């Protein structure tokens, strides 16, 4: 009815609308997401494994050989040096790509799919007519994001192992949860934003002005020290930078406890803020 | 199992002074009603009358702004999930997952009620047979007809074997055959003892399905009773519908006076409310009016609504 549509903009959500978290309800939401994903899992799973091969092949080894014969490797010449240098750049790049791809996937999953369930098919509304509460919807949906992101990170990890790009020992396995966390730092706040939108116009802006620049300039392809001085503090506040930095430290075997904890702590803080925002905007969108 | 308070109240739904406001807008204005177990109860009214807002409060998805509401003896503000576990909801627009199959839609919905996969699957098969969709079980939902989607939504609402079924405009937009098939299914549910609460702006639907109904207009309940009672109270036994050429209808002033208890002029016809339609028709002809057509019919809820609000239901 017209009144309920108009109302959403005026009325703040009552705090009671969010409900109490229930494990079985959260798992049911997660199960829905998995069931829905199964419809096109073949295509996305193929892309998940194919894109690291593609990116590492072209950028890590192709562009990398070029980088290492030039100023990037300090002008070192000779065929052998170039080959070692190329692997060196690939090893530098791979963890960055892992974190940045998690960001990209995390951001994408939180835009159109969320809008579809909120506005187009109203699948969330259908859930809320059952014992499921808003907080279960948020928890189940974020849980699903985590699973999706874990697949992306795992794919990169496997490809990196295959290319011999992991030097950090077993502790390098931590890059999978950190990739997930980096992705969630985008999924959670962007899903919260998606829940405030009535159409998908805003999403193109997110990709154009947030995701793509962060993919390129957060230390993924080159250290942020190469950025103009005024942009370096900007890079420092992005979750992508911290995700890239700690992932790289872990795979190159250069991780130190203090800085790593700072990076992860920052990511956790952003993620929690995103969850709080989701809780608020999902309640506003769904409880009227 | 009815709870203690439910037994004491004797009503599945109990509303007193129930109010819903959206900012300045009053969607539901202090309405009182009770729904007894096993009853088919209807909210009749035009779009924007507050029917859906009332249904959403009963369904525990929209917080009550003011007043008392008890559903199955419990308070939606504190016991929402427990109440929702025992009700079935057919929303105004289908909220099916178009990418999933017919069967998957039911299965996952059963999971929302924490049914095991086995149990949800068993009930899904049973319900698909009930709504005559068993042959489409493995098909995707998207290409199904509107009537089939509606039937699937009804099947879905029954997956938790609800004590109370809420239907918001269950047949709006369906063709007559699909509507009759749905009515038949709802009638069977009622016979099984399921309490039905539905909103509609179709008089025939209300007359077919409802034991008792309230007429809503501008956020308030303006009348309550069985369809028969409402007609007896607010209308006459018969209605004479007279059609005139447009220029004739515009110059009727006074010419119909005294013909019947009440005369209602609509843009395209004039309704004469009377106990004896034939006699009124004869009198109109005797007065020499240029009548294009005359029809005598029984009063319907539409007439009740017209009387109560001065408007037709669908406008």
Q: Where are the domains of chain A?
A: 22-286
Query: Is B216 found in the same domain as B111?
Result: yes
Region A238-254 average pLDDT: 92
pLDDT score of A287:
92
Report which of A95, A133, A85, A109 is spatially closest to residue A254, judged by C-alpha positions.
Answer: A95
- Based on the domain organization, do B42 and B150 belong to the same domain? yes
- Per-residue model confidence (pLDDT) at position B100: 93
Q: Are residues B114 and B242 in the same domain?
A: no
The 10s digit of each residue's pLDDT in A159-177 is: 999 988 888 788 999 999 9
Residue B81 token pair: 């999930």
Whether B308 is covered by a domain: the verdict is: no
Higher pLDDT, A156 or A5: A156
Residue B112: name the closest of B144, B89, B143, B146 by CA. B89
A200 is written with which tokens? 């998908």
pLDDT number for residue B160: 95
For residues A90 and A112, is the Cβ–Cβ distance under 8 A? no
Q: CB distance from B161 to chain A under 8 Å?
A: no
Smallest CA–CA distance from A131 into chain B, residue: B81
Predicted pLDDT at A71: 47
Does the pLDDT value for residue A6 go beyond 70? no
Check residue A236 and give its pLDDT. Answer: 92
CA-CA distance, B285 to B235, in Å (whole number)?
23
Q: Which residues are paired to B21 by β-bridges?
A: B26
Q: How many CA atoms within 13 Å lie on the side-chain side of B264?
A: 20
Chain B CB within 8 Å of residue A287 CB: yes
Does residue B159 belong to the interface with chain A, where contact is any CB pair within 8 Å? no
User: Which residues have CB under 8 Å from A285's CB, separation 6+?
Assistant: A8, A118, A195, A196
Q: Where are the alpha helices (DSSP H) in chain B?
A: 4-9, 51-58, 76-84, 102-112, 117-130, 146-157, 176-191, 203-209, 227-234, 246-250, 277-286, 301-309
**Record: contact A131-B114, CB cut-off 8 A:** yes
**How many folded domains does chain B comprise?**
2
Beta-carbon separation of B27 and A3 below 8 A? yes
User: Which of B196, B215, B219 has its CA nearest to residue B65?
Assistant: B219
User: Looking at the partner chain, which of A35, A123, A128 has a beta carbon nearest the beta carbon of B61?
Assistant: A128
**CB burial string A71-84: b at 16+ within 10 A, e below:** ebbeeeeeeeebee
Note whether residue B306 is domain-resident: no
Say yes or no to pLDDT of B14 above 60.
Answer: yes
Mean pLDDT for the stretch of residues B122-150:
93
Residues in A touching B99 (Cβ below 8 Å): 36, 39
Q: Looking at the structure, do residues B61 and B184 belong to the same domain, yes or no?
A: yes
Burial of B217 (0-12, 13-18, 19+ CB in 10 A): buried
- As a whole number of angstroms, the distance between CA B106 and CA B153 comes to 9
Confidence check: pLDDT of B4 > 70? no
Same domain, B222 and B281: no
Does B85 sit within 8 Å of A28, measured CB to CB? no
Q: Hey, is the C-beta of B26 within 8 angstroms of any chain A C-beta?
A: no
B77 and B168 share a domain?
yes
Confidence of residue A76 (pLDDT cuts 50, 70, 90): very low
Q: Cα–Cα distance between A264 and B186 in angstroms, integer?
A: 56
Residue B305 within any structural domain of the chain: no
Is residue B303 domain-resident? no
A117: DSSP letter: I
pLDDT digits (tens, 9 = 90+) for B52-95: 999 999 999 999 999 999 999 999 999 999 999 999 999 988 89
B145 and B33 part of one domain:
yes
Q: Is the confidence at residue A10, as pLDDT, over 50?
A: no
- List the Cα angle A214/A217/A223 in 5-degree steps: 135
Answer yes or no: is B231 within a domain: no
B105 and B39 in a single domain? The answer is: yes
Q: What percent of chain B has pLDDT over 90?
A: 59
C-alpha Rg value of chain B to the nearest Å: 23
Q: How far is A240 from chain B (nearest CA, A)?
A: 33
CA distance readout (Å), B29 to B15, B17, B33, B41 = 12, 7, 12, 19
- Mean pLDDT, chain B, integer: 89
B274 and B201 assigned to the same domain: no
Cα distance between residue B300 and residue B198, in whole Å: 18
Residue B6 has pLDDT above 70, yes or no: no
Query: Is residue B50, in this structure, part of any structural domain at all?
Result: yes
In angstroms, the CA A100 to CA A108 distance is: 12
Verify whether the Cβ–Cβ distance A39 to B47 is below 8 Å.
no
Please give the pLDDT value at position A5. 40
Q: Tell which of B201, B226, B251 closes a domain.
A: B226
Residues B56 and B111 in one domain: yes
**Which segment, A36-45, A261-270, B224-233, is predicted with the most confidence on average?**
A261-270
Asked if residue B27 lies in contact with residue B19, where contact means CB atoms within 8 angstroms, the answer is no
pLDDT for B313? 60
- Please tell me what DSSP assigns to residue B271: E
Q: Pick B200 or A29 by higher pLDDT.
A: A29
Residues A252 and A91 sit within 8 Å (Cβ to Cβ): yes
| C-alpha span between B155 and B106 (Å, rounded) | 8
* Residues A77 and A69: beta-carbon distance below 8 Å: yes
| CA–CA–CA angle A251, A252, A255 (5° rounding) | 85
Query: Which residues constitute the domain of residue B136?
Result: 4-226
Q: What pLDDT does A239 receive? A: 96
Question: How far lies B216's CA from each of B57, B105, B197, B230, B286, in Å?
Answer: 16, 34, 14, 13, 40
Residue B269 lies in a domain: yes
Q: Is the pLDDT of residue B31 over 50?
A: yes
How many CB atoms neighbour CB B256 within 10 A?
Answer: 18
B312 occurs within a structural domain: no
Q: Give the pLDDT band (50/70/90) at residue A102.
A: very high
- Mean pLDDT over B27-35 rounds to 96
Q: Which whole number is the average pLDDT over A134-163?
A: 95
Q: Give the distance from residue A114's alpha carbon to the nearest chain B alpha carbon, in angstroms.
A: 13
Which has the minimum average pLDDT: A242-246, B32-36, B233-237?
Answer: B233-237
Nearest to residue A82, comparing CAs of A92, A67, A99? Answer: A67
Distance of CA B183 to the CA centre of its chain: 12
Name the band, by pLDDT with cuts 50, 70 and 90, for residue B257.
confident
Top-confidence residue, B108 or B99: B108
Burial class for B264, CB neighbours closer than 10 Å (0-12, 13-18, 19+): middle
In angstroms, how far is CA A34 from the centroid of its own chain?
A: 18
Inform me whether the C-beta atom of residue A3 falls under 8 Å from chain B C-beta atoms: yes
- Could you tell me if B97 lies within 8 Å of chain A, comparing CB atoms? yes
Mean pLDDT across the stretch A265-288? Answer: 96
Cα B256 to chain center, whole Å?
35
Beta strand B87-90 pairing with B164-168: parallel
Residues B240 and B222 in one domain: no
Task: Indicate yes or no: CB of B22 within 8 angstroms of CB of A6.
Answer: yes
**Which of B208, B172, B87, B180 is closest to A1 using CA atoms?**
B172
B172 and B205 co-located in one domain: yes
Handedness of CA A243, A244, A247, A250 (dihedral sign): negative
* Beta carbons of B22 and A131 less than 8 Å apart: no
The percentage of chain A sitting over the pLDDT mark of 90, rounded to a whole number, equals: 62
């Amino acid at each position: 009815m017209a009144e309920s549509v108009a109302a959403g903009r005026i009325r703040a959500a009552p705090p009671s609308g969010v409900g109490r978290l229930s494990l079985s309800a959260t798992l049911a939401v997660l199960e829905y997401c998995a069931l829905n994903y199964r419809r096109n899992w073949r295509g996305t799973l193929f892309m998940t494994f194919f894109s690291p091969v593609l990116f590492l092949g072209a950028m890590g080894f192709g562009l990398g050989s070029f980088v290492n014969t030039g100023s990037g490797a300090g002008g070192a010449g000779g065929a052998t040096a170039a080959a070692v240098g190329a692997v060196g750049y690939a090893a530098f790049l791979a963890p960055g790509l892992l974190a940045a791809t998690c960001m990209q996937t995390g951001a994408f999953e939180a835009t159109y799919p969320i809008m579809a369930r909120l506005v187009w098919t109203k699948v969330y509304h259908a859930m809320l007519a059952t014992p499921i509460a808003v907080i279960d919807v948020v928890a189940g949906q974020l849980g699903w994001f985590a699973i999706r992101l874990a697949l992306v990170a795992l794919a990169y990890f496997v490809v990196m192992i295959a290319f011999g790009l992991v030097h950090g020992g077993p502790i390098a396995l931590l890059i999978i949860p950190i990739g997930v966390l980096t992705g969630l730092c985008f999924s959670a706040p962007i899903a919260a934003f998606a829940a405030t939108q009535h159409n998908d116009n805003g999403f193109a802006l997110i990709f154009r002005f947030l995701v793509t620049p962060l993919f390129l300039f957060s230390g993924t392809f080159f250290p942020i020290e190469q950025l103009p001085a005024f942009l370096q503090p900007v890079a420092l506040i992005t979750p992508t930078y911290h995700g890239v930095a700690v992932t790289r430290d872990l795979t190159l075997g250069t991780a130190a406890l203090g800085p790593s904890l700072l990076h992860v702590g920052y990511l956790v803080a952003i993620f929690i803020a995103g969850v709080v925002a989701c809780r608020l905007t999902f309640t506003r969108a769904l409880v009227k | 199992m009815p709870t203690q308070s439910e037994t004491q109240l004797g009503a599945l739904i109990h509303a007193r002074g129930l109010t819903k406001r959206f900012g300045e807008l009053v969607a539901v204005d202090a309405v009182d009603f009770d729904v007894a177990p096993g009853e088919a109860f209807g909210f009749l009214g035009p779009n924007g009358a507050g029917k859906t807002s009332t249904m959403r409060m009963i369904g525990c998805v929209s917080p009550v702004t003011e007043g008392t509401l008890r559903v199955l003896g419990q308070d939606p503000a504190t016991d929402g999930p427990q109440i929702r576990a025992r009700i079935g909801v057919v929303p105004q627009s289908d909220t099916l997952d178009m990418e999933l199959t017919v069967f998957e839609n039911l299965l996952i919905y059963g999971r929302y009620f924490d049914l095991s996969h086995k149990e949800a699957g068993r009930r899904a098969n049973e319900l698909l047979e009930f709504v005559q969709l068993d042959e489409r079980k493995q098909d995707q939902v998207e290409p199904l007809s509107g009537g089939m989607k509606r039937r699937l939504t009804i099947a879905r609402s029954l997956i938790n074997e609800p004590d109370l079924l809420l239907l918001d405009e269950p047949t709006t937009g369906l063709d007559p055959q699909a509507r009759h098939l749905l009515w038949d299914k709802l009638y069977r549910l009622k016979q099984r003892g399921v309490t039905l609460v539905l909103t509609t702006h179709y008089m025939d639907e209300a007359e077919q399905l409802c034991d008792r109904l309230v007429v809503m207009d501008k956020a308030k309940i303006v009348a309550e009773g069985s369809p028969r009672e409402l007609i007896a109270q607010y209308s006459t036994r018969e209605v004479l519908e007279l059609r005139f050429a447009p220029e004739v209808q515009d110059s009727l002033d006074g010419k119909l006076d005294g013909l019947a208890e009440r005369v209602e002029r609509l843009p395209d016809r004039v309704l004469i409310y009377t106990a004896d339609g034939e006699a009124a028709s004869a009198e109109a002809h005797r007065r020499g009016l240029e009548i294009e057509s005359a029809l005598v019919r029984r009063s319907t809820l539409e007439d009740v609504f017209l009387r109560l609000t001065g408007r037709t239901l669908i406008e």
